Amino acid sequence: AQSVAQPEDQVNVAEGNPLTVKCTYSVSGNPYLFWYVQYPNRGLQFLLKYITGDNLVKGSYGFEAEFNKSQTSFHLKKPSALVSDSALYFCAVRGSMDTGRRALTFGSGTRLQVQP
């Protein structure tokens, strides 16, 4: 069974400071990893994904994520946080062995609060 852990319910950061939202995963085979963001009363918006290749993945709105196979982690990062980045962030995974079931397994979410 695959799983995702987001160990922090909330991350607080000051505007202009770098931010990190943590994610670790467990999956059979190679992982396909994703980050999504959810604003209040909205659907989930895709930010970025790791399938293969470079361990540093760049995505939307200046976000990037670093894949670390030995630590089974896929942390989301941004060099300089904006107040508008405040939202709920979800990490998700699917295993490369899941040829039929393509649904993603999501973590519990981390609320990012960026203070002005």
Partner 1 sequence: DSGVTQTPKHLITATGQRVTLRCSPRSGDLSVYWYQQSLDQGLQFLIQYYNGEERAKGNILERFSAQQFPDLHSELNLSSLELGDSALYFCASSVVASGGELFFGEGSRLTVL
State the residues that interact with partner 1 by CB under 8 A.
Answer: 32, 34, 36, 41-46, 49, 51, 90, 94, 96, 100-109
- Rank residues 47 and 81 by Cβ distance to partner 1 and give the closer one: 47
Nearer to partner 1, 81 or 110 (CB): 110
CB of 102 to partner 1, least distance (A): 6
Count of CB atoms within 10 A of residue 4's CB?
22
> Shortest gap between Cβ of 62 and partner 1 (angstroms)?
18
Dihedral sign computed on CA atoms, order 70, 62, 93, 22 = positive
Cβ proximity to partner 1: between 25 and 90 the closer is 90
